[in-house]
Structure 1
Amino acid sequence: MPHHGVYREHATTSRLRVVFEANTPSSSGKSLNDLQYVGPAIQGDLIGILLRFRECRYVACADIEKMYRQVSVDPKQRDLQMILWRDNPSDPIQTYHLNTVTYGEASAAFLSCRCLKQLANECNDPDVARTIHNDFYVDDMCTGDDSASKLLKICHDTANVLQSGCFPLRKWIFNFDNDLSRSEMAKELSLGEDSQCKTLGLGWYNLSDELYFHTKFSGGTEDITKRKILSGASQIFDPIGLINPVITTAKTLLQSLYLLKLGWDEIVPLNIAQSWISFVNSLSSLNEIRIPRYVMGCNNTRKELNIFTDASQMINKLFVWEVAYRTP
């Protein structure tokens, strides 16, 4: 199985990440991933996790250290996970078996998440079981409670249960002071395996308890094609629609391109190119936006979820979510 290293300059951990290319065809024309089942989705929906993350007054985030590497593969299957290696070009090539679940394989996420689910199924503590079942997205945990002391207990007990399955929790972040909390931190909420591909993602400042958008977005200003616009738009991470009015610009541009029936690598018309450049240049201002993470409010007597839809042909299925409160 071919592999190579990817160096991430601004990563806080694992700056050099190994990428295993399980999609590479062998002499048979089939790759390892062609022969694997992906497995069903068994974790909570990302939108649901982030919406629940905004409901509780006290919240905590953590992630599992090297999650995939904590799960052993059946020895009978390890011949499918062989790599070649040598320290120096003059050394003879050696063959190694990868003994654990390997990032880049089609089944990796399911196998690891299924182990988490089993720990939850066997857990006798309903709060811990609920946390593992509902508040994990791959290896990232976002959980909360309206009681700080109860949340700390849930975090402590959840960490113990996961440790029993060799899934150590690390990088704890809270929005209140406690023995586990670190100094002021910013947590990226661009969760999951593809988070490194998001150049515009959702983040959270723990002490001010605010959501923000961080962006290194660069859509390019030369030879703008339909492919480049679609690629750029797909890198924007806004699962709960906080910046829908901004992203709508990119969506309407894509809609216009499909109506023109342009090829993927054709240069787009000048008016669309200018609109795209203007859109890309405006994204840097998103860094200044701060959104309160906690939406439930204090001392409210009634909560309402209002959903507004727009039937405009230009903005199809654009949803704006709002929570209204009534105080005494």
Structure 2
Amino acid sequence: MGFARRLQMSELKGPVGKTWYVPHGLVEQPNKPGMPRLVFDARSKFNNICLNDALHNGPLLMTDMLDTRGSNCVSVFLATPRRPGPTDRAPNVGPHIRCKPSPTCAAYVLRHIVEDHPEYADVAELIAKKFYVDNYLDSFNTIEEGIATCRRLRELLFLGGFVLGQMATSAREILQSLPATERANPDLNIDLDALPVHRTLGLEWNGEGDHFFFTLVIPTAITKRQVLSAVSAIYGPMGFLAAVTITAKVLLQDAWRVGHDVQPDGRRPKKLGWDHPLPPNLQERWDCFVRSLESLRELRVPRCLRPTSFPANDTTITLHLFCDASLFALGASLFQRSECRGIIALRLVAARSRVAPVKQQTLTRLELMAALLGARLLKRYLQLLQLPCWSHWCWSDSDNVLYWLRSKATLYAQFISSRKEQILSVSPASRWRHVPSELNPADDLSRGIEASELTEGHQSLAGPAFLLMGEEEWPQRFGGGAVQPEALEIVRPVAVCEEVRVNAVVATEAGASSLPPPTIGNIIESSTTLSALKRSVAGLNAAPGEELTPSLLRAGLDCCIKMAQKSAYASEINALAKGNQIGRDSPLHKLSPFLDPDGLL
């Protein structure tokens, strides 16, 4: 391929410490037969050190991997740029370097090509946003747009010394416009053969039907380590199978808990090691899960978020976020609702599921965590799909979560208030609505379902039926449901004593004159311990000979705290005293500060 050559014996005698030989070999993935890759392994160690140990990752220049699913409906193609060499006779073989800065270097080179050729400014944004390492993925509204963009990209990359090869598309017209050597299947008969299947970024895509499908091959697993490896191999950036795979993640967490939880009879079983066999009950659950995955072979998920019959300029698009939680897991699913001339279509955009934290939380807290998980997902797709911030609705079946988001109160536990602010920074409280649990598609993400239940018409993939109707048919409640006061976690302010007024007069021994009273600032500077400070300040407000009671000591400490607060946060205290919000440049902005009735911050 021109990337490597045989060394001469004289070249092996390089200076010690200056030459590093990187081993390489040919690797072929079972999922991509006939497409071997030449791998340079920079992770290989010699004398307990490898090349990667001496390299930096570099800045993050890659695009978001979630942007692999287009909302345009005519065509999509996948392509890989490669540098041709004098011995390039195997177009399906490409080099791969397991090197830490490789992704950054790949993205930098592509962007540098754009900078060197400003006449291709029309495709510059595509280079920056549509490449994920060496994979280009895009979709177009029309065949003509796809052909023109493909041609411009090929020209630009060729100027940089690259050939955009291994190209695949769902549009035969685009394939016909490409040289056979640059197609993923050069021998394909475009007129007679069905478009082939391609696998990229953890997804299997059928070009003929323009849909994703799933063929999961799970190896036998009898230990915790093998289960972890198998669960990690079920990879899907869109989360189409999240309602199914969450059951395996919960099982893995249960395996970790073996030996950590005390049994009802008081026994604590031995901890389960990574290479120890699973207990019989967990092994049975795992085997049942693996057997059920066979039914997913029939599942098909459309690639395009907008039906082909919906013109882009005549379609109204809104995103609908659903979130839910149980004591075992929490999840969020995002749907795109497209409406064109009275016809409505609903497609799953992405879904996320997480196991509940090992440290047990209340159900209302988990519901709030699910809402935050959904808000983060919504934020990313509002940016990726370039939709206005108001073109969405958020749904939750938790009355407490809706109460928190709509409440103007700030006296909540830090766990609640911090997550509330993060959610509201993405979606205002006016965009949150209540949905009954039986109509919430995220309910399956928090409890898990059998793989045989997951069909194209299932609610977790097809969305709730009410979104296919007019807005007047949707659940109309925005809040105001029955909340659990004890679960709201309202922090009650601590009542403090009246502010201490310093009126003491210190007389001289002769009693003939008086000195200015000692200031609290002087006492603070001269005190060496907190106990001495409290007693000195409290003594200023006590009558001569009066015993220093706990209330006086507490009031003295409050005086010192108030003085220190005024010194450090004078502008914040003045703003809050006038009923205004503190400035965004204040270090206290994210802490939701307030003044209590006694003026303490």
TM-score (norm: length of structure 1): 0.77
The one of 179, 189, 202 equivalent to 2:200 is 189
Kindly indicate whether the alpha-carbon contact (under 8 Å) linking 1:61 and 1:140 is maintained by their aligned counterparts in 2: no
The one of 122, 125, 128 equivalent to 1:130 is 125
User: Residue in 2 aligned with 1:2?
Assistant: 23
Kindly indicate whether the alpha-carbon contact (under 8 Å) linking 2:23 and 2:42 is maintained by their aligned counterparts in 1: yes
Of structures 1 and 2, the one with the larger relative CO (CA 8 A, separation 6+) is 1
User: Residue in 1 aligned with 2:68?
Assistant: 50
Which secondary structure state, in structure 2, belongs to the residue aligned with residue 46 of structure 1? Answer: coil
User: Residue in 1 aligned with 2:276?
Assistant: 266
Residues 1:281 and 1:66: Cα distance change in structure 2 (over 3 Å)? farther
Deviation at residue 44 of structure 1 after TM alignment: 0.7
Which secondary structure state, in structure 1, belongs to the residue aligned with residue 234 of structure 2? Answer: coil
Residues 1:294 and 1:24: Cα distance change in structure 2 (over 3 Å)? closer
Kindly indicate whether the alpha-carbon contact (under 8 Å) linking 1:58 and 1:176 is maintained by their aligned counterparts in 2: yes
User: Residue in 2 aligned with 1:36?
Assistant: 55
Which secondary structure state, in structure 2, belongs to the residue aligned with residue 61 of structure 1? Answer: strand
Task: List aligned pairs for 1:177-256, cutoff 5 A.
Answer: 177-178=172-173, 179-180=176-177, 183=190, 184-190=195-201, 201-215=202-216, 217-220=217-220, 224-256=222-254
Deviation at residue 239 of structure 1 after TM alignment: 0.8
Residues 1:218 and 1:116: Cα distance change in structure 2 (over 3 Å)? same
List 4+ stretches of structure 1 deviating above 6 A: none
Task: List aligned pairs for 1:75-154, cutoff 5 A.
Answer: 103-122=97-116, 123-154=118-149
User: Residue in 2 aligned with 1:286?
Assistant: 296
Kindly indicate whether the alpha-carbon contact (under 8 Å) linking 1:60 and 1:172 is maintained by their aligned counterparts in 2: no
Which secondary structure state, in structure 1, belongs to the residue aligned with residue 49 of structure 2? Answer: coil
Kindly indicate whether the alpha-carbon contact (under 8 Å) linking 1:62 and 1:169 is maintained by their aligned counterparts in 2: no
Moved more, 170-179 or 269-278: 170-179
Deviation at residue 102 of structure 1 after TM alignment: 6.1
Q: Which amino acid aligns with 1:242?
A: F
Deviation at residue 277 of structure 1 after TM alignment: 1.0
Which secondary structure state, in structure 1, belongs to the residue aligned with residue 214 of structure 2? Answer: strand
Deviation at residue 136 of structure 1 after TM alignment: 0.9
Q: Which amino acid aligns with 1:111?
A: C
User: Residue in 2 aligned with 1:303?
Assistant: 317
Residues 1:5 and 1:204: Cα distance change in structure 2 (over 3 Å)? closer
Task: List aligned pairs for 1:12-31, cutoff 5 A.
Answer: 12-15=33-36, 17-27=37-47, 29-31=48-50
CA distance in 2, matches of 1:229, 1:263: 12
Q: Which amino acid aligns with 2:42?
A: A
Kindly indicate whether the alpha-carbon contact (under 8 Å) linking 1:307 and 1:321 is maintained by their aligned counterparts in 2: yes
Which secondary structure state, in structure 1, belongs to the residue aligned with residue 109 of structure 2? Answer: helix
Higher share in strand: 1
CA distance in 2, matches of 1:10, 1:42: 28
CA distance in 1, matches of 2:235, 2:122: 30
- Are 2:345 and 1:324 aligned? no
Task: List aligned pairs for 1:162-177, cutoff 5 A.
Answer: 162-177=157-172
| CA offsets 1:86-113 (integer angstroms, 9 cap, x no match) | xxxxxxxxxxxxxxx9612222222122
TM-score (norm: length of structure 2): 0.43
| CA offsets 1:138-194 (integer angstroms, 9 cap, x no match) | 11111122122112111110111011112211122222221236641212132xxxx
Kindly indicate whether the alpha-carbon contact (under 8 Å) linking 2:40 and 2:98 is maintained by their aligned counterparts in 1: yes
Deviation at residue 133 of structure 1 after TM alignment: 0.8
Task: Report the structure number with the largest CA radius of gyration.
Answer: 2
Alignment root-mean-square deviation, CA: 2.4
Kindly indicate whether the alpha-carbon contact (under 8 Å) linking 2:24 and 2:39 is maintained by their aligned counterparts in 1: yes
Kindly indicate whether the alpha-carbon contact (under 8 Å) linking 2:38 and 2:96 is maintained by their aligned counterparts in 1: no
Residues 1:127 and 1:207: Cα distance change in structure 2 (over 3 Å)? farther
> Which residues of structure 1 form unaligned runs of 5+?
71-100, 191-200
Q: Which amino acid aligns with 1:220?
A: T
Kindly indicate whether the alpha-carbon contact (under 8 Å) linking 1:120 and 1:130 is maintained by their aligned counterparts in 2: no
Deviation at residue 228 of structure 1 after TM alignment: 0.8
Q: Percent of pairs identical after alignment?
A: 26
Kindly indicate whether the alpha-carbon contact (under 8 Å) linking 1:113 and 1:138 is maintained by their aligned counterparts in 2: yes
Residues 1:326 and 1:280: Cα distance change in structure 2 (over 3 Å)? same
Kindly indicate whether the alpha-carbon contact (under 8 Å) linking 1:211 and 1:293 is maintained by their aligned counterparts in 2: yes
Moved more, 137-146 or 293-302: 293-302
